[in-house]
């Protein structure tokens, strides 16, 4: 009997769909816990306020945003325009990012299946799906990194398809996506250089075969089209991206190595994204999923790190063996690409010291582990297949326990720092105020409130103004003008939650020097009853 109609198609495509669905199922439960964070909401500014972008051009009657800062383009802003036109909730910001991450998972499975085999695709994709850092930086795209991962993986996939078909449309598609990635975030240059050197190290014959004048012209044209907003900005602003961001430092290596390890083992977002203490008011589980999370935690105890670091070390030790038995090219490409990209982070001042930088290396470490392990397992046939299945199950289980720990801490202890869920009751409180003048004097409040009220509030910023000690007459007049308006409501953090340390005391001292004092309106707490925000007016002493 022949294969039933459609069965071959289903057998080929159902695995990546399952992996993409798993990624969504793992991510959705996290979306509602943290509040909207300042950097997470930054891309929405030009949607809410025409002309708010760092660099824009006039297009008919519209101010078209091209760059949000000197190294961060408005690609995400363009994509989210129709979404935020209907809703400005945290779900409207986060669910599309999670869906794009799921598409990346789908493309990643197809990529591994194409360049290696089905075993590698299953092992690598399940490992990536359950990776706590990858999942959470996708759900809460403050980096931002979601489009970077999508464009990197799909670009590599198209490059592989081009290598096998020779179609210049696929070649142009590859470099157009890489150009878009450069516009989205100029830091993609780290990965782009890594791709070039990694390809030269692992696939020199393929490069020589495709390196001709027509292919170079096609690739260059597509890249320039994709990166054209970034190129236009740098032409008009005298290479502003390079001048503003390329500063070298060699003394941060220990910190960056520590950050790389914490990102890889899943521990890096504890205390930054979630609290590890309950503030004296622990929350109890409510939903069935929360009860399940607490039950798993009661069995496993605290689980802050997975086993990925051990797996990565073993994968590195396997590479010399793979040079002997064959199958070294994919692992070497992933290793060289990641190493070159991370080296550039290491020598760049301020880069690579936070998760949203180091996670840009993903999914290369996953490729290295999956391809090394499965390549060796092929030499042992059925025993090898069983071994790789057990290893993959162990690593994925460790990852899931780390994810369970994050979920447990979200439920019990709440979100940390400028991810606080107190931004939601603060938004409700601000909506009830009779005044239309609101002054934000500490970092991390302005953009979330602006998004939640869809740009309708008259928000003003005095962030860092009252921390400046180089007072001159013009600055003193500006401060005095702000303090004299008794209708303005001032909003900042409580002393324990200041983002700009010392800003509360500095503001009070400045006000006192002008003859004003704070007239308290109230304090806003998070779900664990911790006081986070304070509201007040200034009145004469």
- What's 176-240 look like in SS3? HHHHHHHHHECCHHHHHHHHHHHHHHHCHHHHHHHCCHHHHHHHHHHHHHHCHHHHHHHHHCCCH
pLDDT at site 105: 98
Calculate mean pLDDT across residues 137-148. Answer: 96
Q: What are phi and psi of 438, to 5 degrees?
A: -130, 125
Number of C-beta neighbours around residue 316 at 10 A: 14
- Bridge partner residues of 270 (DSSP): 274
Rounded Cα–Cα distance for residues 131 and 311 (Å): 13
pLDDT tens column, 218-227: 999 999 999 9
Question: Which residues, 6+ apart, have CB-to-CB distance to 39 below 8 Å?
Answer: 142, 143
pLDDT at site 173: 97
| Mean pLDDT over each residue of the chain, to the nearest integer | 91
pLDDT at site 8: 53
For the cut 80, the answer to whether the pLDDT of residue 202 exceeds it is yes
Number of C-beta neighbours around residue 231 at 10 A: 17
Higher-confidence residue: 112 or 1?
A: 112
Calculate mean pLDDT across residues 452-476. Answer: 83
pLDDT at site 321: 92
For the cut 70, the answer to whether the pLDDT of residue 3 exceeds it is no
| 515-526 exposure pattern, b = at least 16 Cβ within 10 A, e = fewer | ebebeebeebbb
Rounded Cα–Cα distance for residues 22 and 20 (Å): 5
For the cut 80, the answer to whether the pLDDT of residue 376 exceeds it is yes
Categorise residue 352: left if φ over 0, alpha if ψ from -120 to 50, beta otherwise.
Answer: left
pLDDT at site 1: 43
Binned at pLDDT 50, 70 and 90, residue 380 comes out as: confident
Higher-confidence residue: 150 or 241?
A: 150
For the cut 90, the answer to whether the pLDDT of residue 251 exceeds it is no
pLDDT at site 220: 96
CA distance to 16, 223, 231, 319, per residue, from 243 (Å): 42, 22, 14, 39
Calculate mean pLDDT across residues 315-334. Answer: 92
Residue 83: which of 48, 34, 135 has the closest Cα?
A: 48
Cis check for the bond before 367: say yes or no (omega within 30 of 0).
no
Calculate mean pLDDT across residues 284-306. Answer: 96
Rounded Cα–Cα distance for residues 360 and 338 (Å): 9
pLDDT tens column, 501-536: 999 999 999 899 889 999 999 999 999 999 999 999
Rounded to 5 degrees, what angle do the CA atoms 488, 43, 242 make? 110
Calculate mean pLDDT across residues 458-483. Answer: 82
3-state class (DSSP) for residue 368? helix
Rounded Cα–Cα distance for residues 302 and 321 (Å): 36
Q: Are 311 and 344 in contact (CB under 8 A)?
A: no
């Amino acid at each position: 009997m022949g294969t039933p109609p459609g069965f071959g198609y289903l057998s080929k495509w159902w695995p990546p769909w399952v992996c993409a669905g798993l990624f969504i199922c793992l991510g959705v439960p996290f979306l509602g816990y943290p509040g909207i964070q300042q950097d997470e909401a930054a891309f929405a500014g030009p949607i809410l306020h025409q002309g708010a972008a760092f660099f824009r051009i006039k297009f008919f009657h519209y101010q078209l945003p091209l760059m949000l800062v000197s190294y961060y383009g408005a690609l995400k802003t363009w994509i989210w325009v129709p979404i935020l036109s209907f809703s400005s909730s945290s779900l409207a910001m986060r669910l599309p990012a999670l869906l794009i991450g799921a598409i990346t998972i789908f493309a990643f499975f197809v990529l591994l299946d194409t360049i290696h085999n089905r075993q590698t695709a299953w092992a690598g994709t399940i490992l990536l799906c359950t990776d706590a850092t990858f999942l959470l930086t996708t759900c809460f795209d403050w980096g931002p990194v979601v489009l970077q991962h999508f464009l990197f993986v799909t670009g590599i996939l198209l490059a592989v398809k081009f290598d096998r078909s020779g179609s210049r449309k696929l070649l142009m598609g590859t470099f157009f996506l890489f150009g878009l990635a450069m516009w989205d975030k100029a830091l993609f240059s780290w990965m782009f250089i890594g791709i070039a050197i990694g390809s030269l190290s692992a696939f020199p014959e393929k490069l020589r075969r495709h390196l001709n004048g027509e292919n170079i012209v096609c690739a260059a044209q597509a890249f320039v089209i994709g990166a054209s907003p970034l190129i236009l900005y740098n032409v008009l602003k005298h290479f502003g991206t390079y001048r503003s961001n390329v500063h070298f430092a060699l003394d941060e290596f220990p910190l960056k190595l520590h950050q790389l390890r914490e990102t890889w083992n899943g521990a890096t977002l504890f205390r930054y994204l979630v609290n590890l203490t309950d503030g004296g008011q622990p929350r109890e589980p409510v939903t069935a999923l929360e009860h399940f999370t607490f039950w798993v935690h009661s069995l496993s105890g605290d689980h802050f790190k997975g086993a990925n670091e051990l797996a990565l070390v073993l994968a590195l030790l396997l590479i010399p063996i793979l040079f002997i038995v064959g199958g070294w090219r994919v692992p070497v490409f992933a290793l060289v690409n990641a190493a070159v990209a991370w080296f550039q982070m290491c020598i760049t001042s301020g880069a690579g010291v936070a998760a949203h930088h180091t996670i840009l290396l993903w999914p290369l470490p996953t490729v290295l582990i999956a391809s090394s392990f499965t390549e060796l397992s092929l030499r042992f046939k059925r025993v090898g297949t069983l071994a790789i299945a057990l290893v993959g199950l162990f690593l994925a289980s460790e990852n899931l326990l780390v994810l369970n720990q994050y979920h447990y801490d979200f439920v019990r202890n709440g979100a940390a720092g400028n991810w606080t869920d107190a931004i939601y009751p603060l938004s409700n409180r601000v909506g009830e105020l009779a005044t239309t003048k609101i002054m934000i004097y500490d970092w991390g409040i302005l953009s979330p409130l602006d998004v939640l009220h869809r740009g309708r509030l008259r928000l003003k910023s005095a962030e860092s103004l009252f921390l400046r000690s180089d007072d001159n007459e013009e600055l003193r007049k500006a401060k005095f003008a702000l303090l004299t308006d008794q209708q303005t409501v001032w909003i900042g953090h409580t002393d324990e939650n200041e983002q700009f340390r010392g800003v509360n005391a500095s503001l009070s001292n400045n006000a006192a020097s002008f003859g004003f004092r704070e007239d308290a309106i109230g304090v806003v707490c998070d779900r664990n009853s911790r006081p986070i925000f304070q509201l007040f007016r200034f009145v004469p002493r």
